Chains A and B, each alone.
Chain A
């Protein structure tokens, strides 16, 4: 089984400042890793994914994440945030397989960007 821990439930940050949202996972098998974003009253939108290869992955809206196997981490970063980045962010993991498996989600991190 896999599990995900998002270490911060809330992250307040000023506009144009950098941000890092932390995610650690636990798994006995190789995994795929994802970050999803949820804006108020909307569904989940895929930000980026790590499947294999380069450990630094880039996603939409200027976000990137780095897979660190030794630290079992997949932290999300953005060098300069905007007000519109205010949302809930979820880290998720699933077994490294082309078969269908449910996503295991972290509890989410609420990013609040203020002027």
Chain B
């Protein structure tokens, strides 16, 4: 079956613009995570969705970052008024509801803010 799919694979934007990054999890997986990978900070957790529960937003770095998950499947991460420090690879992962929390990752979206 298909893995976690992320689009676009690369995104170049100008400072101050808004961007949307998409994640399509593995079919049947109810949990979805967003992480950010940057040179200085390594891999950082951003947000976590589980079924219909309220998302865990504890990792979002500022109120310019938001995410939603529609219909319990596809998720969109939105960054408003992008800054140069937002340049990073944004990784999405999903995991099944039952059993151990093993996360499966997509290939990521490389965001470059000029």
Contact = CB atoms under 8 A, between A and B. Distances in A.
A107 B41 CA distance: 8
Contacts of A32: 100-101
A6 B48 CA distance: 25
Contacts of A46: 102, 104
Nearest to A95: B101
Which one of A45, A102, A105, A107 has the highest number of Cβ atoms from chain B below 10 Å of its Cβ? A102
Contacts of B105: 36, 43-45
B101 A105 contact: no
Contacts of A99: 101
A42 interface: yes
A42 B33 CA distance: 17
B42 A43 contact: no
Interface in B73-106: 91, 93, 95, 98-106
A90 to B, nearest CB: 7
A102 B98 CA distance: 16
Interface string A81-109: 00000000010001001111111111110
A102 B93 CA distance: 10
B19 interface: no
B113 interface: no
B4 A94 contact: no
Interface of A: 32, 34, 36, 41-46, 49, 51, 90, 94, 97-108
29 contacts: A32-B101, A41-B107, A42-B107, A43-B6, A43-B91, A43-B105, A43-B106, A43-B107, A43-B108, A45-B105, A46-B102, A46-B104, A49-B102, A99-B101, A100-B33, A100-B50, A100-B101, A102-B33, A102-B45, A102-B48, A102-B56, A103-B33, A103-B35, A103-B103, A104-B45, A105-B42, A105-B43, A108-B42, A108-B43
